Structure 1
Amino acid sequence: MDISIIETSGLGDRSYLVSHDGTAVVVDPQRDIDRVLGLADDLAVRITHVLETHLHNDYVTGGLELSGIVGAEYVVPGGDDVDYPRRAIADGDWIDAGVFRLQAMHTPGHTHHHMSYALHDSAGTVVGVFTGGSMLHGTTGRTDLLGADHTDDLTRAQYHSVRRLAAELPADAEVYPTHGFGSFCSATPASGDASTIGDERRTNPALTQDEQTYVATLLAGLSAYPAYYAHMGVINAQGPAPVDLSMPEPADPDELRRRIDAGEWVVDLRHRRAFAARHVCGTLGFELSESFVTYLGWLHRWGAPLTLIGESEDQIADARRELVRIGVDRIDGAAIGDPRAWSGSEVRSYGVATFEDLAESLQADEIAILDVRQSGEFADGHLPGALNIPLHELIERIDEVPRAHVWVHCASGYRSSIAASIVDRCGDRAVTLVDDSYENAEKLGLTT
């Protein structure tokens, strides 16, 4: 039996294709299903079933479209109210793929109706379990995505769900979670790239702590999560539209200028340092990297116009693929090339520095330090005198940023690069991007 992992690193998730002897089952597919179809073709297998562990809160599923294209049975937890035909799976039900089988295990916590699927080989031995947002590697899925009224009950349910998995499955069964590789659906950061039930018995807080300690620790550690999560469950319950990965319509320089002047978002995908060195006045810099889709989806107002600027068609296409995964289907246009080629647009720049440069400036100049990390990160240590506005709050709180020379930092330089472009867009503050690791600030003795 082969278990192929389909990584979606930008969202911190995994999908799986389980195959043997020409038959395959897919678990929690992302919306860009061409990756799944291509893998199935490479393995020369026929997909008979598509399984969802839960209605996802961090991405739009590709399960409905995939099952329709390949003629597979679409399996969704039975308690979820959806607007399309599917097999409503219940605790203890079996999915029979012929040469292997999976048994549904109700594991509420991440959601009310969450299912895990225990994978049995042809001899009936449990060889793995697909745990979705329940048992993750060294942690569990977060329990606050359905609202404060449900959080305490779901947290306690999560504790008992993980304990059920540990009690009923063998120690050598592999654990295959959907979340936990950087996803905000994880209650705390996951650890490691692989795990077994035996490993989790030794390390997972739901299995090493008593219930009260687990609940208190999980609730205390929950941080903010992306705003676009509010729309994912609704889309997944209604049934996502077929995916569209086509190139957006080109936008000429005059149209770009009109959109910027109208206050629309025109997003530059180039590297953060390239943006700092030269960008069109009024644009925003969201470097196309692993964190791109999370933060663009978090900050951009849902449904508002969006235009992309990139160095190549491939860059635009990659950004579009990332965005459709979270339901941002409307891309109003795209432009390709160097900002200097866009006539009629003012080109701006700002400085890029390290924490060592910041230390020197603290001695010589009157500057303001803007820390855009999460409040929990700030509480663990920060630069004295720094103003903490988490990146996801910056647009609403921009008036709190001093009209001075603002040095912007985060933990690595990515979030601060977005923040620097937001501050620069206002045009009334000098900006320097600290593109450096926060560990270097600690080594220099700059932090509390």
Structure 2
Amino acid sequence: MLFQRIESEGIAQYSYLVGDSHEAVVIDPRRDIDVYLEAATFQGYRIVAVLETHRHEDFVLGSVELAARTGAEIWHADGQWDYRYGQAARDGQTWKIGRLKLEAISSPGHTPGSMSYLLYDSGVNPWIVFTGDALFAGDVGRVDFLGEDRMAGMAGLLYDTLYRRLLPLGDEVIVCPGHGAGSVCAADIADRSWTTIGLERRYNPKLQFPDRDAFVLGVARKLEYAPYFREMERLNLEGPPLLGEMPLPKPLSAASFASQIESSVVVDTRMELGFGAAHVPGSLSIWLGGLPGYAGWFLPYGKPILLVQEGEDPSPTFRYLVRFGYDTLAGHLAGGMLSWNTAGYENESVPMVPVSSLCRLLDSGEKAWILDVRSEDELVSHGSISGAHNIHLTMLPERMNEVPKDGPVYIFCASDLRSMIAASLLQRAGWRNAAVVLGGLIGWNSTTCPIV
């Protein structure tokens, strides 16, 4: 038998490769599909079907790509919507994979037509259920994607899915959800790497409500909605362009790079210290590992993207960005900032202040406007700085008018990485007074502005 869980970094998305007797299916594949092809080919399997649990909002599915490369059939959920590819899976539909069987289970709530897929072992015993975004370790799927006016109705559907379709499968059944901890598709996913129906029945806080009304009241919450979700919804209905026809971003000389800046967005994926020391004017700082979590909040669609990076291999950046439908990658700066500087072009920098220096400044009586870009959950869990102004990083573009321009602004987060994103956003918008505080919460020791 073949079984593999593939995690997409940064969005904690899980997809699954399941096979037997040299035939395999993929559940909720990501767009860069080589991982599935390599795993299946290495063990002598042929991918014959792709199953989707729902129309995803946080990444581009790779179903169309896999079908083009393997000839696999695509079965999507949410059959009530106008898909341009594949066929709609039906409640109770089954697929034979060697000695194994998969059965579709209608699981509405996160979306109106979500599907789970129950895997039976060779003895026809329920074994593993792939729940998509209906049930996670420690949480359940969010129900706000169709708008606040439909949240209560969607939460009621999700309750029925959980208590009538999934929990009755049996405590011994393994749960394989669509996401792990850190996903934007639920607020409180636990860090259990593997879980079961029984563990969730006992430990999942969202399964402890006394009745349906209490469940609806408890889970019908409006969560942050990233601007790129709409583009994901469109691409996952229409099907994205094939990556096999898309070349990697080409290396550009400093002169060629400079000539395209005005019509493009420049994204610098180096770490925060390198960006702070020197960067191409007007560029946006998102370190490479942060692209999955933050590119969709700050990068527009339909505009060419120019890259500044460490090294000359653009494939990691390409992989991260195409998962979110950023296909217009115009090229990367060959030779990095060294080539930019040796060609004589101007650069910008961001002041950086050790956290101990800022604390001493405050304790000496100096005034300082502190911008804390952590989330509300972080403030509750780890404490806030007395007197600091909290604007969550994802909300900063909408609330820049709250940040003063007439005095120094010190940007603070748990470390330095998100602070540098914030500094680059402000600098691009005309602020010249923002400094990044290096060291974060661990190094904070001000007595005048303590952590409370």
Shared fold per TM-score greater than 0.5: yes
Alpha-carbon distance in structure 1 between the residues aligned to 2:214 and 2:416: 35
Structure 1 CA distance for aligned equivalents of residues 94 and 265 of structure 2: 48
Offset, 1:400: 2.4
Contact 1:281 1:345 in 2 (8 A): no
Distance 1:101 1:436, change over 3 A: farther
Contact 1:13 1:181 in 2 (8 A): no
Structure 1 Cα separation of the partners of residues 336 and 328 of structure 2: 24
Counterpart residue type for residue 295 of structure 2: L
Query: Is contact 1:166–1:201 with CA below 8 Å preserved after alignment?
Result: no
Judging changes above 3 Å, is the alpha-carbon distance between structure 1 residues 429 and 85 closer, same or farther for their aligned structure 2 residues?
closer
Give the drift of 1:83: 3.9
Q: Does structure 2 conserve the Cα–Cα contact (< 8 Å) formed by 1:100 and 1:122?
A: yes
Change in 2 beyond 3 A, CA 1:264/1:209:
same
Between the aligned partners of 1:26 and 1:396, the Cα distance in structure 2 is: 39
1:214-257 C-alpha deviation (Å, 9 max, x unpaired) = 3333334x431321011111111112211255222333323433
Mapped to 1, the partners of 2:332 and 2:305 lie a distance apart of 9
Which deviates the most, 178-187 or 266-275? 178-187
1:281 aligned to 2:284? no
Give the structure 1 partner of residue 183 of structure 2.
Answer: 183
Give the distance between the partners of 1:104 and 1:171, measured in 2 at CA.
19
1:447 paired with 2:446, answer no
Query: Are the counterparts in 1 of residues 271 and 417 from structure 2 also a CA contact under 8 Å?
Result: no
User: What is the distance in 2 between the residues matched to 1:212 and 1:377?
Assistant: 29
The code of the aligned residue for 1:73 comes to E
Structure 2 partner of 1:390? 392
**Distance in 2, Cα, partners of 1:285 & 1:144:** 30
**What does 1:329-348 correspond to in 2, within 5 Å?**
329-342=327-340, 343-348=343-348
Q: CA separation of 1:257/1:405 partners in 2, compared to 1, >3 Å: closer, same or farther?
A: farther
The equivalent residue for 2:117 is: 117
How far, CA to CA, are the matches of 2:228 and 2:32 in structure 1? 18
Three-state SS of the structure 2 residue aligned to 1:357 is: helix
8 Å contact 2:136–2:189 — kept in the other structure?
no
* Contact persistence 1:206–1:214 (CA under 8 A): yes
Whole-angstrom CA distance in 2 between matches of 1:18 and 1:306: 36
Cα gap change, 1:242 to 1:67, in 2 (>3 Å): same
1:313 aligned counterpart, secondary structure: coil
Aligned letter for 1:371? Answer: D
Which of 41-50 and 384-393 deviates more? 384-393
1:442 Cα shift? 8.4
Distance 2:443 2:144 in 1: 34
Q: Which residue of 2 aligns with 1:138?
A: 138
Contact 2:254 2:334 (8 Å CA) reproduced: no
Residues 102-138 of structure 1: per-residue CA shift (max 9 Å, x gap): 1111111110000000100111011110010011011
Q: Distance in 1 between matches of 2:80 and 2:418?
A: 35
Structure 1 residues 165, 198: CA separation in 2 closer, same or farther (over 3 Å shift)? Answer: farther
The separation in 2 between residues aligned to 1:154 and 1:407, in whole angstroms, is 42
Deviations along 1:390-447, one digit per CA (max 9) or x if unpaired, are: 2223233323211222111123433212002222335543332224343554898722
- List gaps (5 residues or longer) in structure 2: none
Residue 429 (structure 1) aligned to one of 429, 432, 446: 432
CA contact (8 A) 1:55 1:80 kept: no
Identity of aligned residues (%): 36
Aligned residue in 2 for 1:95: 95
1:26-425 to structure 2, matched below 5 A, reads 26-77=26-77, 79-210=79-210, 211-220=212-221, 222-244=222-244, 246-260=247-261, 262=262, 264-289=264-289, 291-314=290-313, 316-342=314-340, 343-364=343-364, 365-378=366-379, 381-403=383-405, 404-425=407-428
* Whole-angstrom distance in 2 between the partners of 1:54 and 1:402: 44
Question: RMSD of the alignment, in Å?
Answer: 2.3
* Residue ranges of structure 1 left out of the alignment (5+ in a row): none
Cα 1:281–1:71, aligned 2, differ >3 Å: closer, same or farther? closer
Secondary structure, aligned partner of 1:312: coil
Residues 6 and 15 in structure 2, CA contact (< 8 A), matched pair in contact too: yes
Q: How many angstroms does 1:73 deviate by?
A: 2.1
Contact kept in structure 2, 1:9 and 1:182, CA below 8 Å = no
Q: Secondary structure at the match of 1:217?
A: helix
Is the 2:78–2:112 Cα contact (8 Å) retained in structure 1? no
AA of the residue aligned to 1:7:
E
TM-score, normalised on structure 2? 0.91
Equivalent position amino acid for 1:385 in 2: G
- Find the residue that maps to 1:109 and give its secondary structure: coil
| Residue pair 1:90, 1:104 contacting (<8 A) in 2 also | yes
1:378, distance to aligned residue in structure 2 (A): 4.5
The change in CA–CA distance for 1:344 and 1:394 in structure 2 (over 3 A counts) is farther
1:270–1:287 CA contact under 8 A, matched in 2 = yes
Q: CA deviation digits over 1:339-384, x for unaligned, max 9?
A: 2421242223234345433322212433211112234545664222
- Partner of 2:17, secondary structure, is strand
